[in-house]
Structures are given as structure tokens and as C-alpha cells.
Amino acid sequence: MQRIMFSLLVVVVCLALSAKVNATELQQTIRTTQNKVVKIFGAGGLRQLEAYQSGILISPEGHVLTALSYVLDTDDLAVILHDGRKWQAEFLGSDPITELALLKLPVEEEQLPHFNLRSDVALQRNSSLPFPGQRILALSNLYGIATGDEPVSVLQGVITAIAPLKARRGAYQANYRGQVYVLDAYTNNPGAAGGALVDWQGRLLGILGKELRSEVTGTWLNYALPTASFVEVVDDLRAGRLDRTRVELPPSVESHSTETLGIVLIPDVLPRTPAYIDSVHRDSPAERAGLRPDDLVVFIGSEPVDSYRAVVKQLQQVERAEPISISVLRDGALREFVLTAKTPSVKKSTPASDDVKP
């Protein structure tokens, strides 16, 4: 009996020591990971719209990945690092499907702490992670509490499910329909969008999504997009493959426009107003092709467009005599339409009698 009690005591002591070591390691993981999460401040303040959110550093040169939202609709976009330093960020581009955006800090020689997306994805695949029931940490600028060198908030929880995203915010449906991690940590609060979801070893599992309400249950979702779902998108954005420069047409060549196609976009009130179609003219190329109000324009030809102004600019690069393909997001699906604008007919002039040879 004494031997049994002694053995149990040894097991309890070992578990306690193990727990203590794990707790110490976890604290170090949290401190290290907090240094890779940034606070973003931008547009907002009207109609109780919060002017802040979160982001994650994904390169030593200062590339920041975050959620695409109205907060980024400003030319005065501020990013604050873990040590309180403030930088003015450059908006490099965005992806309309995942609704993520890439920013760049004006870092020159300094190497910033960051997540290695491809490395973390490879480690997860090799270890068959993540899975429902796995312990996670969610790090973000929740409620905008961190404004300077204060550390970002940390929530502990588990992945409750891995399921397709089917939700909406207000009148608009989420564009991304792939698998997401559903969490039991309250990450759907203001400021959390764009934060980091990591495991207890600090490996990036995903990025925290925007506030959305489930169409299935009617409840607000706490979720994150898996890293594997956007790693290729980030590569394209960093390489500039989603923002190609096209040659301007000469002034003598007529180009497409929203007017000639019969498209009316929602009013352009911000630098990056989303390119939602407000209405289409009757018997116009847009109506004949099948475009509808509330469609979100995401591609003109093969070129991605992420705003009202980008659509207008891209249409000006295509001759009106040429058919033009427009891809939109409708009910979470990408649809492509080919439009042909009517070109003004040019009458051939009849030569004057004096010019006619006998």
C-alpha cells in the first residue's frame, strides 16, 4: 500500500513539475508571439464604427497581413509595433475572396519579428494539425486597449469545429466559403479582426476573421481563416501579380466606362469604396449580360479590382470596340460575364466630285 501511495505521489509531482515547465514555456510563447502582432488605426469614428483593428507581421521587411475593412480606407494608415513605434503603412493590395489586405511598413535595414507562413503550414501538415479540440491562443488588439507599447490581448480556447463559412454581416454575405476554424474564444468583438490564431508552440494556425453572424444558427461567429487558405494569395500580393500596370490607351481611342456599359456603382465616398453595383440601366450591356444590383466587381478581364476607383481606372484601359469580361461575387460564388458596348457608327465620307477621276 505504501509503495502504491509513493508511486502515485511521484506521478503527481511529475505532473506538477511538467505543468510548471509548460506554463513557463507558454508564457514565453505568448511574449514572443505578441511581438508579431500589430495594432492598426485608420478610418472610422462615424456611426459608431471603430477606427482600429489588428494585423500580423509576415516578413522581416515589414509586410503586414490584416482583414480588409473600412478601417483601411484612408491615406493616413497607422501601424504600431509591440514596442510602441508608430509607422505609416502603405496599402499594397487585397484579395476579395479571402477579404484580406497586405500592408507594407517603411522598414529599411531593421529585421522585424514575424510569422513564417510557409514554414508554419508545413509543420501543421507534418503533424496533422490543427484538429477540433486543439488548444489555441488568439492574439489581437481587442477593443483597442493597446494603443502604444502595451501588449495585445490574449485569449485562450479550443477549436470547436472545422467547417465551411456561411455567414453575413448586415446585408452582405461573406465572400469566402472555404473551411474555417470555429473557436470558443470571443474573437468577434471590435478590434480583433486581423489578429493571430496560434497553437501553444506559437505556430500560426490562421488569421482572425471579421464580425459575422452565422446564417445557420443566427449567432455571432468566432472564427479564423486557416493559414493554408491564404498563403498563395499573400505570395501573389507581395510579388505584385495581383496589381499589374497596364499601358494607357492613346487619347484617340475610346475606352469602356461604367456609363457605356450601363453600370451604376455605389457612391464613391472613401479612397477604397467597395465596387458594389447599385443598379444597371435597362437594355444596357450590363443588363443583357446578366449583371445585377449588389454584385461585387472583383475582376475586369484578368485584372483584380478592389475599389470603385480601381474599376473606373481598369475600364479605361480597354478599347470600347473590344468585348470585356467582368467577374463579380454573387451569393459567395465567383461569376464571369462578357459585355459588349455599343460603339458609335462612323459614316464613310463620299468623295467630292472634283476629286473623282474620269
The answer, yes or no, to whether residue 357 has pLDDT greater than 70, is no
The answer, yes or no, to whether residue 251 has pLDDT greater than 90, is no
Query: Between residues 47 and 256, which one has the greater pLDDT?
Result: 256
Residues 317 and 257: their CA atoms lie apart, in Å, by: 10
Helix pair angle (117-126, 231-239), 10° resolution: 160
Residues 273 and 311: their CA atoms lie apart, in Å, by: 11
The answer, yes or no, to whether residue 11 has pLDDT greater than 70, is no
**Using 50, 70 and 90 to split pLDDT, how confident is the model at 17?**
very low
Burial class (CB in 10 A: 0-12, 13-18, 19+), 214: middle
Please tell me the least confidently modeled range out of 199-208, 210-219, 327-336: 210-219
* Residue 25: predicted pLDDT: 85
Residues 65 and 55: their CA atoms lie apart, in Å, by: 6
Query: Which three cell numbers mark 179?
Result: 473551411
Residues 229 and 243: their CA atoms lie apart, in Å, by: 20
**Using 50, 70 and 90 to split pLDDT, how confident is the model at 240?**
confident
Q: For CATH 2.40.10.120, list the domain ranges present in the chain.
A: 37-238
Residues 243 and 307: their CA atoms lie apart, in Å, by: 13
CA distances from 290 to 43, 328, 330 (A): 34, 11, 12
Mean pLDDT for the stretch of residues 45-64: 87
Residues 276 and 330: their CA atoms lie apart, in Å, by: 10
Assign 78 to helix, strand or coil.
strand
Mean pLDDT for the stretch of residues 275-281: 92
The conformation of residue 213, written as its DSSP 8-state character, comes to E
The answer, yes or no, to whether residue 186 has pLDDT greater than 60, is yes
**In the chain, how long is the greatest CA-to-CA distance?**
131
* Residue 19: predicted pLDDT: 44
**Using 50, 70 and 90 to split pLDDT, how confident is the model at 355?**
very low
* Residue 354: predicted pLDDT: 40
pLDDT tens-digit readout, 294-311: 999 999 987 788 888 889
* Residue 128: predicted pLDDT: 67
**Using 50, 70 and 90 to split pLDDT, how confident is the model at 267?**
confident
Secondary-structure class of domain 258-339 per CATH: mainly beta
Query: Which three cell numbers mark 287?
Result: 443588363
* Residue 343: predicted pLDDT: 54
The answer, yes or no, to whether residue 252 has pLDDT greater than 70, is no
Residues 40 and 87: their CA atoms lie apart, in Å, by: 10
pLDDT tens-digit readout, 99-125: 899 999 998 888 999 999 988 888 777
How long a stretch of residues is the chain? 358
CA distances from 71 to 39, 46, 94, 194 (A): 12, 11, 13, 11
Residue 181 phi/psi, 5-degree rounding, is -90, 120
CATH of domain 37-238: 2.40.10.120
The answer, yes or no, to whether residue 53 has pLDDT greater than 90, is yes
The answer, yes or no, to whether residue 210 has pLDDT greater than 50, is yes
The answer, yes or no, to whether residue 93 has pLDDT greater than 60, is yes
Query: Between residues 68 and 79, which one has the greater pLDDT?
Result: 79
Q: For CATH 2.30.42.10, list the domain ranges present in the chain.
A: 258-339
Query: Which three cell numbers mark 215?
Result: 446564417
